[in-house]
Structure 1
Amino acid sequence: MSFAPPRDDAGRRDWLRLIRSEGVGPRGFQRLAERFASPAEALAALPEIAPRVRLASAQEAERELEAGAGAGARLVCFGEAAYPPALADIPDPPPVFWTLGEPGLALRPCVAIVGARNASAAGARFAAELARGLGEAGWVVVSGLARGVDAAAHGAALATGTVAVHAGGVDVVYPPQHAALAERIAGTGLRMSERPMGEQPTERSFPRRNRIVSGLSRGVVLVEAAERSGSLITARMAAEQGREVMATPGAPSDPRAAGCNALIRDGAALIRGAADVLEALGPALAPPRAARPLRPASSPSRPSAAGLPDAPPDGPPAARVAALLSAAPVSFDALAAAAGLQAADLAAALSELELDGLIDRRPGDLIALA
């Protein structure tokens, strides 16, 4: 995309109007961004170049912005510092998405855990153990807030970081039985959705959600997936996006294991625990930092540069810096060393993150994720 990120409410309204116009969608939005200088210019040209497209009105976009503000949600547009570089890299990234919770989590190294809604007790227990182990190793666990495996993974990763991708609006919890879990995720984790505020999910919503689950992640682990299940759609999308596909084996007679067993037969990594996931992701990926509490009870001592991982090799400086941060404060000098940035460049990146509300400056020149 080539649209510059919006800088004011009018710009955000134009972004929303364009993506909410009937028949545009993420790929159409991307094509328009390659042709026009701004969403406002594309909106002005659409009646002539695509007369059958019904443009969303400014009032509709304004109502959605008001609904988001009323729910405490934040709109993130493509190209902003809060937009995850991994998600930006997929063929059809969402131009906008709404968030509730800690937006910096989606900038950290993520791994998805998905699987059967009617998971067995053993499958749900294994998903929880896997999520807990990966969280303790420093990874953020992504899933789709569904019953069974998804819920088990989210619940086990609450202490270390989890991202729930909604099929409907970010303010719509589906299934409704997960209202308490969703509230806890909004408190210490992150909920996100590309769909309009208040939208109920439909059958078509779930495959669209699945591409975001895999797009955010460096790899996807399937725990109990039947043949032709939605989890296999996520696995296919992950493979198309260049992500690692992993699966847990099951008994040949268990229909809930048929999809996972087929994936392993076709080359997916066989997963027996968190160590297998870390091995499958491979040495080519820089290991994430060790997990830290999202909200530490006491102020930690000033860390050194050795306590941070190397910065991601690509992406805008602000996104690279954000990926190095957590709720545990780090000094400006240590962050500059880890990010490989000059002081002036780091200061500019931090200013951008501060304007987006992503960082918190602490006494003693310390910086942390907000």
Structure 2
Amino acid sequence: MTAKALSREEAFARIRLLRSPNVGPVSYAQLLRRFGSAVEAVAALPDLARRGGRRYEAASAARIEREIEATRRAGARYLFHDMEEYPALLAQMDGAPPIVTLRGNIALALRPCVAMVGARNASAAAVRLAREFAATLGEAGIVVVSGLARGIDGAAHEASLATGTIGVIASGIDIAYPPEHADLQERIATGGLLIAEEPPGTDPLARHFPKRNRIIAGLAAGTIVVEAAPKSGSLITARLAGEAGREVMAIPGSPLDSRAHGCNQLIRDGAVLVQSAQDVLELISGFDGQPKSRFRDDGAGVFDLPEAEPEIDPGDIAALLSPAPVAIDELVRQSGTTAATVQGALLDLELAGRLVRHAGGRVSLQD
């Protein structure tokens, strides 16, 4: 189904499908592929979950009606995965968001983009560097993508607002976070582009930030980490960029400053050391999907589902699972059946709330 043929009924059903319990981007795509439409997929959800061993109810129509009205009140609109406006680089991400809400100029996401992330408690020198990098990149026609957090994110947005910036938030499109960035968020929504994956009214909970980070990495040809401590969210964004085959860049810092340890670690692990915006421009010029940085963590691919119903009982696959993540191709080998059939059984388990999906095409059994 193409976006041009998307009826009001199908659009409503797509939102309802994605908001239903235990349906994420991967299972959403699999359900559309199997049933051909969201209308049919929503109708099939209870039966699929019963095969996984649980009772199930899809998201209520009343809830979706309230969400759509809240999206309208916020001055936002929906962008579906198969619309022509959907950014091509983001679509290549594993588990790309099938539906987002947005405010502003979506054309910015179709221009060359670079993500810039870093510490919330950044040093004055790092904030200055972020502003200089963002301003120079913007003058060169590059759109700067970041997450509207304090510190580096805010500095990058402020410096690139006049030339083009995209803010990706972990809350609903109508929630400003942090509160002191409410004015900046509104200026991005009216003069740039604001993107949210969560429904309107959703608070920025901790579990939403890694999802936001994958959108930041997915929109850009490369990600620059300006300053970051070890195990910070900025390093998650860099890892996701590397897994997606994008450039990973880092500005080095003093080993005496803990806020520089994350960047220095990235460089040690293969990220490209950059010291000026010109270094960034040279690295991403003519980006063809073959990054020059060596920072990579490739995972298993995603298998297609069969057109017919699964030929294996989900319980047989559940018996092969444990709380420890395992690659799907390993399940294929151990089950002795096809990849598509295993994916079908995993989908039933996921809808029943018994499966957890991990990065790199791995899955585990819910504790």
Interval containing the TM-score (normalised by the shorter chain) = 0.7 to 0.9
Structure 1 pair 53/242, CA: closer, same or farther in 2 (3 Å)?
Answer: farther
**Aligned counterpart in structure 2 of residue 112 of structure 1, from 112, 115, 121:** 115
Aligned to 1:34: 33
Amino acid in structure 2 at the alignment position of 1:202: L
Stretches (4+) displaced over 6 A:
none
Q: How does 1:1-370 map to 2 (within 5 A)?
A: 3-5=1-3, 7-51=6-50, 52-285=55-288
2:17–2:23 contact (8 Å) kept in structure 1: yes
Maintained 8 Å contact 2:78/2:101: yes
Question: How far off is 1:10 after superposition?
Answer: 2.2
* C-alpha separation in 2, matches of 1:67 and 1:130: 36
Give how far 1:284 is off.
4.4
Q: Aligned partners of 2:47 and 2:9: how far apart in 1?
A: 23
State the partner residue of 1:328. none
SS of structure 2 residue aligned to 1:134: helix
| C-alpha distance in 2 between matches for 1:45 and 1:235 | 38
Letter in 1 for 2:186: E
How many Å apart are 1:12 and its aligned residue? 1.7
Contact 2:221 2:287 in 1 (8 A): no
Q: Which amino acid is 2:24 matched to?
A: G
Q: In structure 1, what is the equivalent of residue 341 of structure 2?
A: none
User: Contact conserved, 1:164 with 1:185, CA < 8 A, in 2?
Assistant: yes
Identify the residue that residue 319 of structure 2 maps to in structure 1: none
Deviation by residue 1:75-106 (Cα, 9 ceiling, x = unmatched): 00011022111111111111100001111111
Per the TM alignment, residue 172 of structure 1 is displaced from its structure 2 partner at its CA by 0.8
Shift of 1:30: 1.3
Q: Which amino acid aligns with 2:107?
A: G
Q: CA deviation at 1:53?
A: 4.0
Tell me the CA shift for residue 285 of structure 1. Answer: 4.3
Unaligned runs of 5+ in 2: 290-367
What's the RMSD between the two structures over aligned residues?
1.3
Among the aligned pairs, what percent are the same residue?
Answer: 54
Given the superposition, is the C-alpha separation of residues 53 and 130 from structure 1 closer, same or farther in structure 2, using an over 3 Å criterion?
Answer: farther
Paired with 2:275 and 2:183, the residues of 1 have a C-alpha distance of 30
Return closer, same or farther for 1:284/1:223 CA change in 2, 3 Å cut-off: closer
What is the CA-CA distance between 1:120 and the residue it aligns to?
Answer: 0.7
Equivalent residue letter for 2:203 = Q
Return the alpha-carbon distance in structure 2 between the equivalents of residues 22 and 209 of structure 1: 20
Residue in 1 that maps onto 2:306: none
TM-score where L is the length of structure 2: 0.75
Number of aligned residue pairs: give it. 284
Secondary structure of the 1:79 match is: coil
Q: For residue 59 of structure 1, report the CA deviation from its aligned partner.
A: 1.3
**Is residue 21–residue 53 contact of structure 1 (8 Å, CA) maintained in 2?**
no
